[in-house]
Structure 1
Amino acid sequence: MEVPWEGATTMAALFEQACSKHAQERFLGSRKFIGKEVTTAKDGRKFEKLHLGEYEWKTYGEAFVCARNFASGLAKLGHSAGTPAAIFSESRSEWFLAFQGCFRQNISVVTIYASLGEDALIHSLNETQVSTLICDSKQLKKIAAISSSLGSIKHIIYFEDEGITVDSDVSRAMSNWTVSSFAEVEKLGKETPAPPKLPSKSDISVIMYTSGSTGLPKGVMITHGNIVATAAAVTTLIPKIGRSDAYLAYLPLAHVFELAAEVTMMVSGCSIGYGSALTLTDTSNKIKKGTLGDASALKPTLMAAVPAILDRVRDGVLKKVDENGGLAKKLFSVGYKRRMAAIEGSWFGAWGLENFLWDAIVFKKVRSILGGHIRIILCGGAPLSGDTQRFTNICMG
């Protein structure tokens, strides 16, 4: 398959068709920010803890209007035709909306890891001659510090975050550029609509920079047709994927694994709830004690993972089992062995009535770590150990 729907050969066409087909369904979700606090560990180190509320949603129809307005706003700002825009931010709903907005003006998008250092950032932006840089507000200080090294930048667009303001030093360092919030550009586009300039499938959609783990990052050029074909292929592999599914998005969109996964969710009419690796579960590092992590709040049915995440879940469960000890540890051990035997085909009875018994006694608590409703995990990015794969099969059902 080359396309999931007839005629949708580009990311722009795919987005428009998805938003039309699923207009009333929920699409992009972000957690409400309630507050944050700083805790001090016994060794004196300080840790920021977040209190996050329920997910707040944009429908597919609302997302399309937002991306369309952002595209018009870019045109009104005077983004240079033929030059790319860059997104330098952690994954969030605005990332995806800005991404799709760029395509409606046939603007190629340079994606850069939010964790990249100054040298790698300068290299990526200068090599691609980016004229518009889109980032989250906490990256503004980093950009201001390297402003004298960036020759082609003309516009900065930032995603607003509660509790983070643009200070005067940062503003002065960026005084030669037009600096606007995402909401301001969207409002500008709403007031001055611009006709779309749609791409062809052979046009470059993304110039995706690597992590730079072996020298300077390398920019990989990916066409619209390539990403569309990837989404078409994945939809044939995931059984019964559709609008009843919820996808937990926490991996970096600057990596093609997460990007392809989210495009596949969009094609299928799924909802995408954004989180982060540091707020994923109720016991994650940045979650305030006694409040819900992203998985508990969203209750996803689908997620992508890298082996390190699944290894972390496995190690956490086994540590908890050892701490509980006694009968709980014995029950876990027996249930695990019976389920393993069933998977390996040596004892089919474990998939009968007893299977439900072990779920109720042991594995329901393990599944609740990722919200309790996960049906498929797609793992990639590195080799997954056989032990962790089996553990996930058994404990997550």
Structure 2
Amino acid sequence: MPAPHLQWPEATNLSPSVDVNKQSVEVPGSKRPGQTAHYRSALHPLLTPETKETVHNFHEIFENGLALAGPNATLLGERKLVSKNPPVWGNTIEWMTWATVDARRRALGSGIYKLFQDGTVGGGALKTVGIWSRNTANWQITDLALHLFHLTNVALYDTLGRDAVEYIINHAETSIIFASTKNIATLLKLSPQTPCVKVIVAMEELEADTKAVLTSWGETRNIKVMEFSELEAFGKANPSEPLPPSADAIATICYTSGTTGAPKGVLLTQGNMSIGAHTMLYGTDFRGKEIVNLSYLPLAHIFERIVELGGFAVGGKIVYGTGDPLKLIEDIQIIKPTFLPTVPRILNKLASAILAAGNAGGFKTTLFNKAVQTKLANYHATGTSKHTFWDALVFKKIQALLGGRVQVVGLGSAPMNSNTLNFLRIAFGCDFKEGYGSTENCGVGCQAIASDNTSAGTVGPPGICLEIKLVDVPSLGYTSEDKPNPRGEICTRGASVFKGYYKDEDNTKASLDDEGWFHTGDVGEIDSKGRFKIIDRVKNVIKLSQGEFVAVEKIESLYSASPVVQQLYVHGDSLQSFLVAVLIPDPVQLAPIASTVLGKTIAPESTDELAEACKNAEVAKILLEKLDKEAVKNGLKGFEKIKYLHVSLDPFTVDEGTMTPTLKMRRKDAYLKFKKEIEALYTLDPQNKFAL
């Protein structure tokens, strides 16, 4: 067995002598008018395909992990499903070894490749294979199988609606789709609009009667419905030798979630994603530690894809839970991960629950507050998130919420309030690695250093495979000459940057320039320590009636630091002079406000009573006052502040189409949902001559 490419400490471990006061370096001679110099990480030489100690394709990633772990070590695990109707999950994990996964990916890959070779499927410009399912071990085995034969994964979010599924299937010309049982019926119903689909493979074992119905239905649509095990056995009986490893093979068309317009298909190669995985790993010492990752963020999203590739590369274990968001904490406590990728919306809920419990009153609250103050002071002074006494007395139960073994939390997807982040660091006593990226750069644009105890609010230096520059945005007043920190649109260039948008030359040219720079649309600034901070978006800027430009997403982000916010939609109208908003409050924060105003005790679980309280003008006034504190704290100008507020417990969701599968706001749909209420807010202002 060959020696692994990724070895420690050179490949993934930061030197203890890292200077946190100089995290980026300028490339000499790269400064131009209207933009900053090119910045690279000061922590490691620029990682390129020519770097010897890296991985260049998925074959090397898998072989690297296999060499480190050994063929008999466990690799993929799943919580055992005890019964299907209704779903009942056991507390044990069913495991597969590296050798088992290797054999299964080869068999399945041979089966899929044979279908393409004999013309059963195919016909598109690329040999694309769809996956439309929640995260499972079979999802990952399918992906591993595809890359042995240079087949292209088209991953569909399990929460996608029919229109988006239809568009992506036809755009990618996907002729074979692996789907969860619940999605097979939808695919068969869609088949008149998706004539390219020829084979559907059930990700789970089908009940005999279900299989008979779906098979017969498929025959009427000229579609073959197969079981996963059936295709795997077919490949085992018709083995093919995998194609030579390639960094240039298109690994995936990763469709962006589409906040406006149709989704764009991001073309990523095996080389892009492999170096992206190496970059994400950098800065964590895995030597002598068990690596267990709970897979629950959607595998259709680049963040989870790169995280799991990194897990393979270092010989780690990946475990798939129930896929039920309501059982996430239960999954965590049974699986006991050591590495946990997550997003701010989940951490904010945890923080809110912990603080509510800690401040319930009495001696326990006094003890809790003393523990928090002591640990925060120690963290700011020394950078350590652990404390022998207070961890044992107060935080042990809190840390058990995450299974008690988490060493690193990987945080991405959206900005997070720095105070909340530091609180969670000391509460859970582990490293938090906050990062920034996009699908187009494999999610590894920047990554904060865990040992930097002042990093909260920033996303750290550039990923070690990228260069970053900031380009002036005159319309928003951001320039590379701004003081004290240069500001501008973030542009990235390097080995993890995508090859273009599939069948979309116009958007490719608009986003990817002739020098290879990807123009992200995000506005950032770089501080004196060489760390980047995301401060705005180039788009989603509106002009109010008196000529002021307002970046509504930036304002939403600043206001959302308030604990009362669960979701917030800020609305501006070019015929109006002020902003209004729709607030979906956090029930834990809303309950005591409602109790005070209405003069009776209302619990956070009392949904009906809280919904009624949301209609109370005094409750809305208090909530707006709490939001105003964030506006003052962040120095918002008068026209940037929310003037009137509509409060509701009816959240924005993926299912109704007001959120994307990655939980970004679909602004037009969010507005239409509350159009009546938003228009009513403008009638509240006696000076509003445009009142509706």
When the two structures are superposed, what TM-score results if normalisation uses the length of structure 2?
0.51
The answer to whether the Cα contact below 8 Å between 1:34 and 1:53 also exists between their aligned partners in 2 is no
Give 1:71's aligned residue.
109
2:97 to 59, 72, 77: 59
Equivalent residue, structure 1, for 2:74: 26
Query: 2 CA distance for matches of 1:165 and 1:395?
Result: 50
> In the aligned structure 2, how far is the partner of 1:126 from the partner of 1:198?
29
Aligned-partner Cα distance in 2 for 1:349–1:64: 41
The residue type paired with residue 315 of structure 2 is G
> Map of 1:116-131 to 2, 5 A cutoff?
116-131=160-175
CA apart distance, 1:14: 2.2
2:80 alignment partner, SS class: strand
Indicate the residue corresponding to 1:12 in structure 2: 59
Say yes or no: does 1:178 pair with 2:220. Answer: no
Q: 1:318 aligns with which of 348, 355, 367?
A: 355
Query: Does the alignment pair 1:86 with 2:130?
Result: yes
Aligned residues: 373
Q: Is 1:342 the equivalent of 2:378?
A: yes
Q: 2:259 aligns with which of 188, 213, 235?
A: 213
Deviation at 1:75, TM superposition (A): 2.5
1:391 counterpart = 2:443: no
Gaps of 5+ in 2: 1-46, 430-692
Which position in structure 2 is the counterpart of 1:233? Answer: 279
1:148-191 CA distance string (max 9 Å, x none): 11121111111115879636654444221121111111111122
Which of residues 151, 163, 179 in structure 2 aligns to 1:135? 179
1:200 aligns with 2:261: no
CA RMSD of aligned residues (A): 2.6
CA distance in 2, matches of 1:193, 1:37: 36
Q: Matched residue of 2:210: which SS?
A: coil
Match of 1:223 in 2: 269
Contact kept, 8 Å, 1:306 with 1:381, in 2: the verdict is yes
Q: Taking structure 1 as the reference length, what is the TM-score of the superposition?
A: 0.86
Answering whether residue 102 of structure 2 is matched by residue 102 of structure 1, we say no
1:253 to 296, 299, 304: 299
3-state SS of paired residue (2:242): coil
Contact 1:208-1:254 within 8 A present in 2 as well:
yes
CA shift digits 1:122-146 (9 cap, x unpaired): 1001001111111111211221221
Which stretch has the larger CA shift, 227-236 or 333-342? 227-236
1:349 Cα deviation after fit: 12
Within 5 A, what are the aligned runs for 1:267-278? 267-275=313-321, 278=324
CA-CA distance at 1:61 after TM superposition: 1.3
Give the secondary-structure state (helix, strand or coil) at the position aligned to 2:75. Answer: strand
Tell me which amino acid in the other structure corresponds to 1:335: A
Q: Which amino acid aligns with 2:335?
A: L
Q: 8 Å contact 1:68–1:101 — kept in the other structure?
A: yes
Residue of structure 2 in register with 1:41 after alignment: none
Q: What is the distance in 1 between the residues matched to 2:127 and 2:249?
A: 13
Matched residue of 1:174: which SS?
helix
| 1:238 CA displacement | 1.7
Bigger helix fraction: 1
Q: How far is the alpha carbon of 1:194 from its aligned partner?
A: 1.4
Give the C-alpha shift of residue 241 in structure 1. 5.6
2:189 counterpart (145, 150, 154): 145
User: Per the alignment, do residues 37 and 122 of structure 1 end up closer, same or farther by CA in structure 2, a change over 3 Å counting?
Assistant: closer
Distance 1:261 1:102 in 2: 18
CA distance in 1, matches of 2:165, 2:207: 25
Change (3 A) 1:356 1:326: same
Letter in 1 for 2:198: K
Q: Deviations over 1:342-395 (max 9, x none)?
A: 1121xx69989xx21111111010000010111110100111111221121110
Tell me the equivalent position of 2:395.
363
* Counterpart pick for 2:200 among 156, 175, 178: 156
Runs (5+) with no aligned partner, structure 1: 39-48, 280-284
Relative to structure 1, the CA distance from residue 153 to residue 242 in structure 2 (aligned partners, 3 Å threshold; closer, same or farther) is: farther
Q: Deviations over 1:279-308 (max 9, x none)?
A: 5xxxxx248xxxx81111111110111101
Any idea what the Cα deviations from partners look like across 1:294-331, whole Å, max 9, x if unmatched? Answer: 111111110111101111111221233344x3222221
Q: In structure 1, what is the Cα distance between the partners aligned to 2:423 and 2:276?
A: 29
Task: Quote the Cα distance in structure 2 between the aligned partners of 1:220 and 1:16.
Answer: 27
Tell me what 1:266 maps to: 312
CA distance in 2, matches of 1:238, 1:7: 16
Conserved 8 A contact 2:65-2:316: no
Equivalent residue of 2:309, what SS? Answer: helix
> CA shift at 1:271, angstroms?
0.7
CA distance in 2, matches of 1:361, 1:96: 41
Aligned residues of 1:20 and 1:60 also touching (Cα < 8 A): no
The structure-2 alpha-carbon separation of the partners of 1:286 and 1:295, relative to structure 1 and needing over 3 Å to count, comes to closer
Q: Distance in 2 between matches of 1:306 and 1:104?
A: 31
Alpha-carbon contact 1:156-1:180 (below 8 Å) kept: yes
Q: Do the aligned partners of residues 162 and 188 (structure 1) sit closer, same or farther apart at CA in structure 2, a change above 3 Å counting?
A: closer
Q: Are the aligned partners of 1:120 and 1:212 in contact in 2 as well (CA < 8 Å)?
A: no
Give the SS at the match of 1:24.
coil
User: Is the contact made by 1:10 and 1:228 (CA closer than 8 Å) also made in structure 2?
Assistant: yes
